[in-house]
Chains A and B, each alone.
Chain A
Amino acid sequence: MNFDYSEMQQMLLDSAERLMKERGQVEKWRERRHIDNGLDADGWAQFAELGWLMLPIPEEAGGLGGTMEDVALLNIALGKGLATEPYINSVVLCAHILAQAGGAQEALLGGIAGGEALVALAHAEIGDRYDIDTPRATTAVHDGNGYRIDGAKSVIFDAPSATHFIVSADLADAGTSLFVVDAGAAGLGLSSYPLVDGTRAADLRFEGVTVDADALLASGAEATDLLFAATDRAAIAAVAQAVGSMEACLDLCSAYMKERKQFGQPIGNFQSLQHMIVDMLVATHQSRSALYGALASLDGEAQARIRAISAAKVVMGEASQLVMRHGVQIHGGYGVTDEYAISHHYRRLLSLEKAYGDIEYHVARLAAAHH
């Protein structure tokens, strides 16, 4: 075993931490929150320039062919810097589906790598709780040389800035199938709204949306397997971002405890608060460990992978709740203001716990994986 970063990983981390530091001030973050479609285009262009958008994309598709470890390290830095760009959804999740599915749509990977294309997964439907392999109410039927899609999707992350969607729909005789749909397709309606962490989501409505034959990525078990594998990677990236955010909370809180005075002394002198920040430290440390466990499992057998990834998501979920709540408590009244960075980490961690399977979902999946 070797826990040291490779030279390439160290460079990646250095550049990420540098950029996050440069733009990471809370003022900037607050500005970004008010962008209509949720995407800071300049920020995204910087991500592209630094090569981050091509990191996990295979070399033959114009990417860097980076490992999931590389991706996790980058995402730790993104989490630390409160980056809410649609990195996980587009570059980790959807790019993985496109790369694995191959075919005509693989060309879209070049667009993702270059920053021109943003892809969002449109899988969730009303009544779902992170279900992946249940039948879809959205339907696809053969239509001429292509397909016609009808139905609705619910709380689709990053949809307002997406240029394309990967849409799951029930295709007659083939089961759940995945299609690439252009965001500007006729018959596709978006009802957008902000989420608590400043990102955007939308409910999608498909009314006779037609796509060409080569829009089909996969069907049946192949489609479901792709969805599971890609969502698991997204979950790992979410854990990584949460680890970064929690590590930032530790920095924010320890600094605050040294500077803030109450009853004539720094509040860091009080044992009750010392124990709180130590609990935060333990939880954060455990989360990074669980993340490493998930990364180690990626190439192993399926059950072990499922267990390790769900365990990481559960450990991170519980830890992030402890860290964000303690973090606010340590800041006193300032913790519940928009002005202090801790409140933004609170909202981000709240979202990361709920994204790609919440605690309850992953506890159930972990428990079921032992049968």
Chain B
Amino acid sequence: MDFRYTEEDEIFRQDVRAGLRAILPADIRERQRLTTTMNSDTHDQRDWFKLLDDKGWSVPAWPVEYGGTGWSAIRKYIFEDEMYLASAPEFQWTGTHMVGPVIYTFGNDAQKARFLPEIRRGTHIWCQGFSEPGSGSDLASLRTHAKLEGDKYIVNGQKIWTSTAYEADWGFFLVKTDLTVKPQAGISFLLIDMKSPGITVRRIPQINDEEHLCEVFLDNVEVPAENLVGTPGKGWTSAKFLLEHERTSSAFIFWNKRELRRARMIADDIVHDGRPLSQSPAFAGRLARLEADLAALEWSVLRVLANESHGFDASVASSILKLRGSEMQQATTEIQVDLLATRGLRAYVPGRDQPAPSLPDWPEYVPGRTAIATIMRAATLYGGTKQVQKNILAKLAFGL
């Protein structure tokens, strides 16, 4: 065992750091640093990924033939750590980490040529059409169906919790193409142009005053048959691949690190009784506990990256990451709100133009904290609820 980074890895880190800082525009960095939303600004993401792609760094994890970097797992990890440290926008997860890998793994050459370069360059915003009203964590029960008529699928149905659907160019959807077989066997993976006639998107007003989540209604939407990825009826395989592909991203390790840094910064900035809150016993204790949890989570991520054999099914460790990672996202944003006391109760509508916070009473870190902490309750809901995750873990780890 040797748990240290090699000297070469440290040099790599310095190179990446310098490279990122050299190309990241100051205005994008500033907006990302002060982010008031859970996800990065999509316009900034588009601009940033062009710049990153020019450097060949926009999809480090992809195979080299499709534009990946060929970096080791640890270097990809270092790279992403540095992305967050530089206050760069996040990946367009749905494109780079979800549909992209499905296309280069299951797609045909025409699909690869058509979609991969644009995903790599961040040209298009993608949305994920999996969940349906009433199906939530139970994907096998979905009802949206696509009927093949000549060279087109006619799609009818309804999706829900489709993030960014209102501004998405493309969506990848799970649809039933065969109603005669067992529920999971008749599902296909379909790419749909979100501007197709028959698609209606309704934004859902959220608990935090954002309207990021959407309902998507599909009413006789015509989709060219060539947009079906993989084998008809085998969409379940693609979906499972997609959900399991990024075994460590559900830990949100870099996001958690960034937000704990922010919590510390807020705790250092707010002075009460002549000392910063970071020195008050209550907050110092909470911050220390979060730091300890985060350190453990980071090592759990590294163990997965290194394919450590731990005696359980491989997905056990990644489910543990999902559970702890989502709980940490909640705990870290909650302490931010608690640090702000009553100032944290002020409602800021995220992502819209807000009157600039006026110093010194309303520092720039106040807007967004409560909105993010509030919507972060969804972290233990999406991607399979916490309770469903625990059921899966009990089964996978112990056969219960």
Residues of A within 8 A of B (CB): 124, 126-130, 152, 154-155, 157, 193-197, 201, 203, 261-264, 270, 272-273, 276, 325, 328-329, 332-333, 335-339, 343, 346-347, 350-351, 354-355, 358-360, 363-364
Decide if A336 touches B381 in the complex (CB within 8 Å): yes
Are the C-beta atoms of B377 and A354 separated by less than 8 Å? no
Give A155 to B387 CA distance when docked, in angstroms: 38
A298 to B342, CA, bound (A): 26
Question: A203-B361, A337-B206, A364-B282 known; A155 and B390 CB under 8 Å?
Answer: no
Residues on A with C-beta less than 8 A from B239 are none
Residues of A within 8 Å of B206, CB to CB, are 336-338, 343
| Nearest-CB residue, chain B, relative to A261 | B134
Residue contact A124 to B346, C-beta cutoff 8 Å: no
Judge if B166 is at the interface, Cβ distance under 8 Å.
Answer: no
A-B contact count (CB 8 A): 120
Which residues of chain B come closer than 8 Å to A262, judged between CB atoms?
Answer: 134-138
Does B342 lie within 8 Å of A155, measured CB to CB? Answer: yes
Known: A129-B341, A262-B135. 15 other contacts (CB 8 A): A126-B360, A195-B345, A203-B361, A272-B387, A273-B387, A325-B377, A333-B136, A333-B378, A335-B377, A335-B381, A336-B208, A336-B375, A338-B206, A347-B207, A358-B341
Bound: A125/B370 CA distance, A: 21
- List which B343-381 residues lie within 8 A (CB) of chain A: 343-347, 360-361, 370, 374-375, 377-378, 380-381
Q: How far is the CA of A336 from the CA of B204 in the complex (A)?
A: 10
Q: Please, which residues of chain A bring their CB within 8 A of the CB of B161?
A: 333
CB-nearest residue of chain B relative to A30? B205
Q: How many B residues touch the partner, as a band?
A: 35 or more
Interface, chain B (partner A; CB < 8 A): 131, 134-138, 141, 160-161, 204-209, 213, 271-272, 282-283, 330, 337-338, 341-347, 360-361, 370, 374-375, 377-378, 380-382, 385-387, 390-391
In the complex, residue of chain B having the shortest beta-carbon distance to the beta carbon of A194: B347
Indicate which residue in A154, A328, A337 contacts B361 across the interface (CB closer than 8 Å).
A154
CB <8 Å contact, A350 and B381: no
Q: List residues of chain A with CB within 8 A of the CB of B381.
A: 329, 332-333, 335-336
Q: How far is the CA of A47 from the CA of B228 in the complex (A)?
A: 61
7 example contacts (A-B, Cβ-Cβ < 8 A) are as follows: A197-B345, A263-B138, A338-B205, A338-B206, A354-B341, A354-B345, A360-B338
Instruction: Name the A residues within 8 Å of B137 (CB-CB).
Output: 262, 332
Taking CB atoms, residues of chain A closer than 8 Å to B345 are 155, 195-197, 201, 350-351, 354
Distance in angstroms from A158 CB to nearest chain B CB is 12
Q: Which residues does chain A contribute within 8 Å of B160, judged by CB atoms?
A: 333
Q: Shortest Cβ distance from A273 into chain B, in angstroms?
A: 6
Does A343 contact B207, Cβ atoms closer than 8 Å?
yes
**Chain B contacts of A358 at CB under 8 A?**
338, 341
Question: Are B283 and A360 within 8 A (Cβ)?
Answer: yes
